[in-house]
Amino acid sequence: MEGLELSIFNIISNGGNAKGLVYEAMEAAEKGDFEQADNLMKEADEFLTVAHQTQTELLQGEANGDKHDISLLMVHAQDHLMTSIEVRNLADLVIRMNKRLHDLEIQD
């Protein structure tokens, strides 16, 4: 596997790992385990950081004249990263809502 393909798979793999962890965090929050949810979100952020850094390196390379053909695999990697970031952002809201519901249930 060459440099570009390795970078593409790096984005796909790290984005996918992050997305999976975010879904696990939402499930933990639904069960009232907010400490676990927080830990999972932090772990997801580490994977997203790696994926985003890889994407940034590719963008900087292109800006410096290192042009590549647009492949379906590259489009898939970009889509994977974008949806992972969006799911992560939405998870913040879902976890906060679950926390509020949990706190209200405890008050009753």
> Is residue 1 exposed (0-12), middle (13-18) or buried (19+ Cβ within 10 Å)?
exposed
**Annotated active-site residue in 52, 68, 76, 102:** 76
Alpha-carbon distances of 7 from 2, 30, 90, rounded to whole Å:
9, 35, 26
Q: Which residue has the tokens 């676990």?
A: 36
| Residue 80 annotated to the active site | no
Catalytic center residues: 76
